[in-house]
Structure 1
Amino acid sequence: MLKKIKLGLVPKLLIAIGLGVLVGQLTFIPDFLLQIPVTLSALFSQLLAFIIPLMIVGYVIKGISDLTDGAGKLLGLNVLLAYSNTSIGGFIAYFLASSLFPLFIDASVRETVQIDGTELSPLFTFPLEPLFSVTSAIVFAFLFGVFISWLRKEKKGEVLYNVFTEFGEIITQILNTIIIPGLPIYIFGNFLNLSYSGAVFSLLSVFWRVFIVVISLQILLLIILFTLAGLYTGKNPIVLLKNQIPGYFTALGTQSSAATIPVNMECARKNGVSKEIREFVIPLSSTIHLMGSVVTITSCVTAVLLMFDMPHSFSMMAGFIATLGVALVAAPGAPGGAIMSALPFVYIVGIDPTGSLGNLLISLYITQDSFGTAANISGDNAIALIIDKVYNKYIS
């Protein structure tokens, strides 16, 4: 009996992109047939717009409640290192992207990616409106997150905390069973439309260059992070990096920080991190340390803004990057989780997450997701090394 081959999300997305480009070029297919997958993509986009405010409520409230709960010096140090490293990675990515990307995203590219008026329209849409706006959801989530944390410090608020925790679990289940599995169909319809309009080849010429820059930066940042950890702990950075290789490649395959925790724990053991520290830091950091994902998202957002000649000033991007450090804390441990959690906040930089630019952003990010995850979990072990040294020197 032949063994059933199970494709991961990235192969499915690559196939969807390839088929979308191919089908969009087949001029003998009637437009009304091509409009069927375009309609499915439009309906998916409407569902995404409905879910986005609920994602903010479901994830951000619990994330803030957990992070501000104050569970001791180690938690504070872990959160500080994770957030600082995540934000620094995002700022470096922005400066690099804003310097390098204009070299291959020029006026000629901008002219060819303009698709307004040349794309296929959906056969119909469904009048599905979000329950409340993204801005309302953000304000609600931050206020309730902070004050639920305050209630918990007063030995109250557990009922509310559990309600929003379980609400977040429902949102995660919706993402894992509907949104993320539906991404290949969504991407197929998007790229079919881009191919039909003639913009796809210019976009692909940008995609692969962004891909190279992002992965190179992630690897460089990991080398720097492990070098600093090695210098602080008195260990050989080359040996530390070598011991991390199994964790890195496991994350590439699983595309999930959560699924890589057991292998990452073994990497930490080989690097000499004590049992009590690795059992505390590795699971926590897999949730709150997202350097690789923020590097990818920041780079992709900058690329999209440049392609459409939109503002991308440091002041605007700084607020976006700072928000990502908190917003992605509750990103589900599934492929594509980071960009799904980031979508509600791309409004900050002027991108509609359910419009054509949001579609491009998802397409650009999702094919690089596994490398971001690998950088995330590898950085977790560098943080564990530093915390282990601090614990043994000052706290224990």
Structure 2
Amino acid sequence: MKHLGLLTRLIAGIAIGTLIGLSGGFFGIADSAAFVAVVRLFATFTSLFSTFLAFMIPLIILSFITVGLAELGKKANRLFGITLLLAYGTTVCSGFLTFLIGKAFLPGLIRPITGDVLEAAGFSPFFSIEIPPVFGVMTALVLAFVLGIGMANIKGASLLGVCRDLQSIVTAVLGKIIIPLIPVHIAGLFCNIAAEGRLFATVKMFASLYIVILVLQFLYILSQFGLASLVCRKNHFKSLKNVAPAYFTALGTQSSASTIPVALQSAYDNEVDQDVADFCVPLCATINLNGDTICLVLGAMGIMLASGGVPTLATFAPYIMMLGITMVAAPGVPGGGVMAALGLISTMLGFTNPMQQLIIALHFSQDSFGTAANVTGDQALALIVNELDHKNSAEERAR
């Protein structure tokens, strides 16, 4: 299935895992040794994969945030400051607005699921392996900030080179091991859910979250171009037609980085100055992940409600603020947002491994639309930065 797109493989994994899990009850073999062995085999893979993922999360955070902050610092100029502020500000705003909308609608859509539906129960793995992470998630975050900001302010390049090498290794592990195995991991998750009779409640929760997330992502796109229209005093909703190629390219590739060439042409077509576009579009492909933020906030709220918890502003406000920083340095590759955010989700929201697996599945299933929302929002930010640059240049000439 490697030649198929990631979304196709993910859907296939969900379908295959679900069919295997349901086959026990359908054929009346739920108590047979063969059926139990198959489900436990999936449970074993899921356990081992989760353990390895937990080991990699601090390394993902450290490598990407450290290098991201260090390299962003090197590009520091007036355009960088404006772009970074806009990206972080819109990310945090989208996170808080998502929380408010989630508080208004999700309690009516998602009810607490009884019977520990979000926890593994009857089918234990054949064996498990303990692989303690090199350091904790919060240690990785603080260390990344210290090293990244420090390297951005010194002339030495030796440590940055080491961190780039680490980032290359982690990127290879993501691209060659973790992301290709995600569909198998999700197949195991849904096999276990179906075999234990938890499928309907889980699918209902996913459907509700999926619909609300997609609606919010489209509203985010409209709000970004509304903001661009206000700042530029021009109707930039008309500019959306030139952004369509970038949107559909992102929909197909699930990668902001892979969409950069098409996104640059869309910015040129919308009359963004070439020097501004060449700076802003590639930068925003890395630091502006509002589509991911919407999913990671609303998805976390929904899974928390389903597990019997209550999402509160006191819990989610620090999470959203930290998520904004994490998204700035998250890799612009398929699944990069959720992989960078898993540490925050586990430590700040208290998500267990099964709950983390569900948000991974939710994020990957909508990642095409989330990436397309990110790329489209980048175009609006480029229009705003272009207008602010023109105003700044005019003021300098007037002096």
Q: TM-score, normalised on structure 2?
A: 0.92
Q: Can you list the C-alpha shifts for 1:306-352, whole angstroms capped at 9, x where unaligned?
A: 11122421122111111112212333332111111111111243334
Q: Quote the offset at 1:187 in angstroms.
A: 0.4
User: Paired residue for 1:49, among 35, 47, 54?
Assistant: 54
Distance 1:22 1:86, change over 3 A: same
Q: Can you list the C-alpha shifts for 1:74-116, whole angstroms capped at 9, x where unaligned?
A: 0000100111111111111111112211112124xx2155365
Query: Please, which moves more after superposition, 18-27 or 132-141?
Result: 132-141
Q: Quote the offset at 1:5 in angstroms.
A: 9.0
Distance 1:228 1:135, change over 3 A: closer
Asked whether the equivalents of residues 7 and 364 of structure 2 are also in contact (C-alpha less than 8 Å), the reply is yes
Distance 1:76 1:182, change over 3 A: same
Q: 1:120 is paired with a residue of what secondary structure? A: coil
Matched, 1:94 2:113: no
Q: Quote the offset at 1:132 in angstroms.
A: 1.7
Find the counterpart in structure 1 of residue 19 from structure 2.
Answer: 22
User: Paired residue for 2:152, among 125, 149, 166?
Assistant: 149
Question: Distance between the aligned counterparts of 2:300 and 2:351, measured in 1?
Answer: 12
Q: Quote the offset at 1:143 in angstroms.
A: 2.0
Asked whether the equivalents of residues 115 and 197 of structure 1 are also in contact (C-alpha less than 8 Å), the reply is no
Find the counterpart in structure 2 of residue 358 from structure 1.
Answer: 356
Matched, 1:179 2:178: yes
Question: Distance between the aligned counterparts of 1:122 and 1:370, measured in 2?
Answer: 32
For 1:43-192, list aligned pairs within 5 A: 43-69=48-74, 71-107=76-112, 110-111=113-114, 114=117, 116=119, 118-151=121-154, 156-192=155-191
Q: Quote the offset at 1:68 in angstroms.
A: 4.1
Q: Quote the offset at 1:30 in angstroms.
A: 2.3
For the aligned residue pairs, the C-alpha RMSD in angstroms reads: 1.8
Question: Distance between the aligned counterparts of 1:119 and 1:263, measured in 2?
Answer: 49
Asked whether the equivalents of residues 112 and 198 of structure 1 are also in contact (C-alpha less than 8 Å), the reply is no
Uncovered stretches (5+) of structure 2, i.e. residues with no partner: 395-399
Question: Distance between the aligned counterparts of 1:214 and 1:127, measured in 2?
Answer: 35
Find the counterpart in structure 2 of residue 37 from structure 1.
Answer: 42
Aligned residues: 386
Question: Distance between the aligned counterparts of 1:67 and 1:311, measured in 2?
Answer: 37
For 1:1-396, list aligned pairs within 5 A: 6-27=3-24, 28=29, 29-69=34-74, 71-107=76-112, 110-111=113-114, 114=117, 116=119, 118-151=121-154, 156-352=155-351, 355-395=353-393
Question: Distance between the aligned counterparts of 1:185 and 1:144, measured in 2?
Answer: 35
Uncovered stretches (5+) of structure 1, i.e. residues with no partner: none
Q: Quote the offset at 1:262 in angstroms.
A: 1.0
Asked whether the equivalents of residues 250 and 371 of structure 2 are also in contact (C-alpha less than 8 Å), the reply is yes
Task: Give 1:306's aligned amino acid.
Answer: L
Question: Distance between the aligned counterparts of 1:131 and 1:289, measured in 2?
Answer: 29
Q: Quote the offset at 1:228 in angstroms.
A: 2.1
Question: Distance between the aligned counterparts of 1:88 and 1:115, measured in 2?
Answer: 30
Q: Can you list the C-alpha shifts for 1:195-221, whole angstroms capped at 9, x where unaligned?
A: 111112111111112111111111112
